[in-house]
Amino acid sequence: MEQINAVGRRKAAIARVYVKEGNGEITINKRTLADYFPNPILQYIVKQPLSTLDVAEKYDIKVNLVGGGYKGQAEALRLAIARALVKINPEDKSALRKEGFMTRDPRAVERKKPGQPKARKRFQFSKR
């Protein structure tokens, strides 16, 4: 099997993933998964598509992650891995979609409006 690549995005985070056959190593920006995401919850988020299809020990994954915070990066990586797995085996798409791993979360930060301190917050009203 040749190398399969996919992109996942969430908020400001972008994950570019390169998947090839191997023994389950995940390398993020030349660091291990446990080194890059010390939080076990974030490690779980990243591995969700692999564990759903029971292929965690089958593929080596190399990742370039940029932008955003750690939670957004983990969710961007989850989407990228799910997209790569579907490129490898299209029959897996329905199982991943049922779990919600194929949907790009469209929520992002709302822009600041002129004449206001933040997107929705208003300056204090003064009657006199």
pLDDT tens digits along 5-38:
999 999 999 999 999 999 989 999 999 999 999 9
Beta bridge partners of 110: none
* pLDDT confidence of residue 65: 95
The owner of tokens 């292929």 is 55
Q: Is the pLDDT of residue 1 over 80?
A: no
pLDDT tens digits along 61-93:
999 999 999 999 999 999 999 999 999 999 999
Helices (H), 29-92: 33-36, 40-53, 70-88
